């Protein structure tokens, strides 16, 4: 369902700051800030308010027939996006400040040619599929969400990384003008995947959900969705993609490596130190009573991903 009206959020194209002006403004502003350590300059930041807009999506074979889809309002009001605050209701309150255009994604590291890609070019590169995935948070709750995007592998094939690239690192936006960036976590947020995981057809480069562009608090305008891993592996608001030969730094693993492994595959038999991962609260109803269901190995995607971990001790490589 799309609720859209001509209201204060909509800005006439004539009012949009031209990119060059904006860039020039940014540059001057930065040098100004550097020079005088100014405060309160944020008020002058040009902002583009954002309303969800429809995406042209094609249906896919990826559905979750045995589970109802989570109501959209729930998926967009309960988000772990620590840049906007620690409470799961904070991102929906605070992420409105994020401006989504201009937005570029830098591609760097072990690639033939470093690139800076424009979000609209990435978006238009392949048809947008709608895939309904189980989404399992490490905090033992889960949702069922239709994500809109195309396989990350398609973009990686286009980027053409060097054979020496063994891992991909995703860096999220870090911008104190539009984000809270609470103390205690070293920003920017970074996540990563092994190359074969990134190339797995399930790994979705995601621009939207429920047939609309992503809400800011969901990690607009571009994120990944890795459905067989805990939610925090699915980096949001990506600004850099880096190809590397060693296992890259990832934020939660940095913070507490005993709680969040690099792999973080959904695994009911490996407890989080503070709670069991054997069950999850399925948040897909409009009832206040909880629906607790057993957690599935690889979040139910074992057929598509288990072979990547053949021979690995998943208890140690949690």
- Which residues sit at the interface with other proteins, rule CB under 8 A? 73-75, 77-78, 86-88, 141, 182-185, 255-256, 259, 271, 273-276, 278-279, 281, 283, 286-290, 292
Instruction: Between 41 and 278, name the residue whose CB sits nearer to other proteins.
Output: 278
Instruction: Between 28 and 276, name the residue whose CB sits nearer to other proteins.
Output: 276
Residue 229 near residue 263, CB atoms below 8 Å:
yes
Least distance from C-beta 23 to other proteins, angstroms? Answer: 34
Instruction: Between 160 and 254, name the residue whose CB sits nearer to other proteins.
Output: 254
Three-state DSSP at 136 gives: strand
Least distance from C-beta 105 to other proteins, angstroms? Answer: 26
Least distance from C-beta 212 to other proteins, angstroms? Answer: 18
Q: Residue 111 gets which letter from DSSP?
A: B
Instruction: Between 147 and 232, name the residue whose CB sits nearer to other proteins.
Output: 232
Count helices and strands (H / E) in the chain. 8, 13
Q: How far apart are CA 90 and CA 82, in angstroms?
A: 8
Helices (H), the chain: 19-36, 72-75, 90-94, 119-124, 152-159, 195-199, 251-255, 302-305
Tokens of 300: 């139910």
Instruction: Between 78 and 301, name the residue whose CB sits nearer to other proteins.
Output: 78
Tokens of 60: 């896919």
Least distance from C-beta 279 to other proteins, angstroms? Answer: 6
* String of DSSP letters for 13-65: GGGSPPHHHHHHHHHHHHHHHHHH--SSGGGG---------B--EEE-S---T
Instruction: Between 129 and 139, name the residue whose CB sits nearer to other proteins.
Output: 139
Least distance from C-beta 283 to other proteins, angstroms? Answer: 5
Least distance from C-beta 287 to other proteins, angstroms? Answer: 6
């Amino acid at each position: 369902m799309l609720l859209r009206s001509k209201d204060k959020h909509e800005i006439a194209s004539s009012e949009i700051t031209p990119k060059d002006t904006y860039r020039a403004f940014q540059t001057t502003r930065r040098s100004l800030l550097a020079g005088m350590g100014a405060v309160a300059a944020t008020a002058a930041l040009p902002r583009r308010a954002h309303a969800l807009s429809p995406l042209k999506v094609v249906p896919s074979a990826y559905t979750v027939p045995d589970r109802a889809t989570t109501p959209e309002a729930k998926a967009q009001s309960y988000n772990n996006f620590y840049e906007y605050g620690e409470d799961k209701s904070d991102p929906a309150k605070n992420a409105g400040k994020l401006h989504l255009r201009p937005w570029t994604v830098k591609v760097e590291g072990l690639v033939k040619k470093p690139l800076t890609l424009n979000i609209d070019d990435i978006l238009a590169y392949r048809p947008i599929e709608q895939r309904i995935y189980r989404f399992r948070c490490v905090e033992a709750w889960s949702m069922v969400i239709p994500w809109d995007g195309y396989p990350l592998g398609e973009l990686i094939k286009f980027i053409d990384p060097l054979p020496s690239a063994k891992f991909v690192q995703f860096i999220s936006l870090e911008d104190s003008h539009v984000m809270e960036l609470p103390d205690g976590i070293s920003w920017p947020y970074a996540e990563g995947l092994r190359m074969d995981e990134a190339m797995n057809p399930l790994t979705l480069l995601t621009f939207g959900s429920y047939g609309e562009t992503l809400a800011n608090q969901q990690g607009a305008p571009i994120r990944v969705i890795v459905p067989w891993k805990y939610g925090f592996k699915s980096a949001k608001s990506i600004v850099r993609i880096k190809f590397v030969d060693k296992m890259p730094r990832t934020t939660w693993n940095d913070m507490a490596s005993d709680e969040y492994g690099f792999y973080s595959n959904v695994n009911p038999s490996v407890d989080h130190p503070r709670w069991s991962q054997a069950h999850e609260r399925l948040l897909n109803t409009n009832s206040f009573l909880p629906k607790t269901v057993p957690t599935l190995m690889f979040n139910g995607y074992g057929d598509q991903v288990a072979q990547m971990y053949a021979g690995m001790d998943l208890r140690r490589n949690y």
